[in-house]
Amino acid sequence: MIKNPLISETVDLTAAETHPRVRLPQVRFPLRAKITVPFLILAVGLAIGAAYAITQIVFDTIDERFTNQLIESGKLAAEGMVRQEDSLLRSLRLLSYAEGIPQAIADNDINRLQDLSYGIAANQGEEVVDFLDKDGQAVLSLIHQRGGDATDYDFSTSSEFDYTSVPFIRNVLEERVDNYGDKYSGLVKYSWNDIFYVAGPIYDNQGDFSGVVLVGKSLETLLRQIHDETLAQITVYDAEGTSFGSTFYEPSELDGVEAKTVLANQDQASLKRNIGNRRGLNVSNIDYEEILGPWEGRGNEDLGLLGVSLPRTFLVRASNATRLQITGIVSLMLLLVILLGVYIASIITRPLRNLVEASAEVAEGNLNVQIPPRGNDEVTVLTRSFNTMVSSLNQSKTDLLNAYDRTLEGWSMALELRDQETEGHTRRVAEMTLELAVLMGFEGEDLINIRRGALLHDIGKMGIPDSILLKPGKLTPEEWAIMHRHPEFAYELLWPIEYLRPAIPIPLSHHEWWNGNGYPRGLAGEEIPLPARIFAVIDVWDAMSSNRPYRKALPEPEVRAYLIEAKGVHFDARVVEAFFDLMVQRADQGARQAG
């Protein structure tokens, strides 16, 4: 459970009262005094000029600019709807591919299904998740508690709602597949809320249909998020023009003829209308205009109408005489501001330049920068605080990366145990891959990412069923096809984790062949990332040189012969030659240590 922010605040307050407050150095020459006096004089002059100018200015609306702004907001709102649907689709894929969920639905094992789905729903921040069996009957519903923490969900195992009556859900239950795939979206109107869902099928390891998973978000939340992104008021209407969701307190209705016109002409034009008088929102000069377009779901299916509203803006225009007067006054005052500002800025910004340059280095990732403090004003205090902050960030980054790397090592060990891999294989190939990468010119951050990629090279096998991964005999062609997907599974698992994206080339591409006969993408030659080419040689060397449950380790000359024979076919010849150089260096180093 996430702690209540109020509790955290109380703890911090208590800590502040328990420990003595840090005393800041005394400021002898405050920056406020350096800046305030000269600019106060200029501010008075500008205020007099501005007061005179305001009395000469009239306000007039610029309709064309407002219309462009309204159209742009409409496009952003439509794109926002698409992004929300894509976000729900990502969560749906995680749930539908999660190991154990198909069997839990088939067995009606509610506790098991809840354990498997709860973490995914909470991590993805989803509002509603429903599971249906293959007959369309509700098995389990997860509903986030309104106003609760991210992990607060209510669970329900039954529903009187008839899901089979909803067309887009019925498409999934009937296993229909169209040009856009086997997943569908739509709006479900419950008695307690309107929920926008993305629905998709769940298949077991044998490819048999097990049920349906629906990932949804309330219409209220959906519209509020679009409102926050566009700063516009959002309203959705049905095909008859009746509003059924809005960020307005009192949404207006749309004439049914207008609604049908918008849907009929959606590819040619949109409808713009003034709704200020209809809503009574023109008080205090607030007068809304709305642009209407189709609300489209998956496959450009019309779910209704989307209305985007903005208050009309006002821009300032003045007469020619007033413009000349304002121009003269403002130009004179600005000239004085510029001259005095340049002089004052040259004095004040001297100690700030170091802070700016150091901040730029920190922004680029250098957390070892420190600035010598000089003087005894606020900038000096800021410099010392900056040094302390950077030191703390550096330590925190180090601790966090160490924790991440320990976690990755734990992942690799867990996968090694599951796969019944030779003990220490992952550690050995990671170490040798780093050595060969250094020999081939890699350094710095690249080496860190190569090590992480080597540790996680077979992480995609987490998505391979035990019945295939642990099968004692030979795999069938169909089973090999599933096994060959583990690099793709690795990509899907690691890509959402931003700091692991640079490590993806090895897990994704270490089974590619130099001649293009590898998988999963059939890359050839230098299309294959160099870290993956390096790791492929190390991986094969270690596999052939180690004892396996099904054979003894091969002699080193035999392994060397295979690598030489596979140059230009399986491996990059340049990498193989570099690997042999590395083995010579290792042998020489071992001889020196033994002597």
CA distance 292 to 272: 6
Q: What is the pLDDT of residue 506?
A: 94
Stated length of the chain: 595
Burial of 508 per CB tally in 10 Å (0-12, 13-18, 19+): buried
Residue type, 530: L
User: What digits encode the pLDDT tens for the residues 389-421?
Assistant: 877 777 776 666 666 667 766 666 666 665 555
- Token couple for 24: 């800041």
Q: Which of 407, 344, 351, 406 is nearest to 382 (CA)?
A: 351
End-to-end CA distance of the chain: 59
Residue 112 near residue 201, CB atoms below 8 Å: no
Burial class (CB within 10 angstroms; exposed 0-12, middle 13-18, buried 19+) of 244 = middle
Q: The tokens of 156 are what? A: 């329900």
> Taking the CA atoms of the chain, what radius of gyration do you get in angstroms?
33
Low-confidence ranges of the chain (pLDDT < 50): 1-22, 24, 58-61, 278-284, 314-318
How far is residue 341's CA from residue 336's CA, in Å, rounded to a whole number?
Answer: 8
pLDDT tens-place string over residues 17-68: 334 444 545 555 565 566 666 666 776 676 676 666 655 554 444 566 667 7
Nearest Cα neighbor of 514 from 505, 526, 501 is: 526
DSSP 8-state assignment for residue 484: T
Beta-ladder partners of 243: 237
pLDDT at 282 (0 to 100):
44
* Residue among 164, 161, 288, 301 at smallest CA distance from 239: 301
Residue where the block lists tokens 């249906």: 132
Angle at 294 between CA 291 and CA 297, to 5 degrees: 140
pLDDT value of residue 427:
84
At residue 33, the pLDDT reads 60
Residue 399: half-sphere exposure toward Cβ, Cα within 13 Å: 6
CA distance to 92, 213, 490, per residue, from 89 (Å): 5, 11, 19
Within 8 A by CB and 6+ apart from 533, the residues are 514, 571, 572, 575
Q: Please name the residues in contact with 59: beta carbons below 8 A apart, sequence gap of 6 or more.
A: 314, 315, 316, 317
Torsion angles phi and psi, residue 458, rounded to 5: -110, 25
Q: Say how far apart CA 559 and CA 569 lie, in whole Å.
A: 16
- Token pair recorded at residue 17: 């009262």
| 267 contact partners, CB below 8 Å, separation of at least 6 | none
**Left (φ > 0), alpha (ψ -120 to 50) or beta: where does 425 sit?**
alpha
Which tokens go with 317?
Answer: 């225009």
Q: What phi and psi, each to the nearest 5 degrees, are found at residue 587?
A: -65, -45
- In angstroms, the Cα distances linking 3 to 6, 9, 41, 115, 150 are 8, 10, 51, 22, 10
Q: CB–CB of 76/218 below 8 Å?
A: no
Taken in order 565, 568, 574, 575, the sign of the CA dihedral is: negative
pLDDT of residue 411: 67
Phi/psi of residue 276, nearest 5 degrees: -60, -50
Structure tokens at 264: 């009929």
The answer to whether the CB of 244 falls within 8 A of the CB of 236 is: yes
Cβ-based burial of 521 (10 A; exposed 0-12, middle 13-18, buried ≥19): middle
Reported as type and span, the H/E element at residue 502 is: none
Phi then psi for residue 236, to 5 deg, are -115, 140
Whether the full predicted model's pTM is greater than 0.85, yes or no, is no
Peptide bond into 477 cis (omega under 30): no
Q: 10 Å Cβ neighbour count for 231?
A: 9
Distance CA 578, CA 538 (A): 11
Q: Whole-angstrom Cα distance, residue 105 to residue 122?
A: 20
CA neighbor of 299 nearest in space, from 173, 126, 130, 177: 177
Query: What does the buried/exposed string (b/e) look like for 167-199 if buried means 16 or more CB atoms within 10 Å of the residue's CB?
Result: ebbbbbbeeeeeeeeebbbbbbeeeebbbbbbb
Domains assigned to the chain: 58-317 (3.30.450.20), 419-594 (1.10.3210.10)
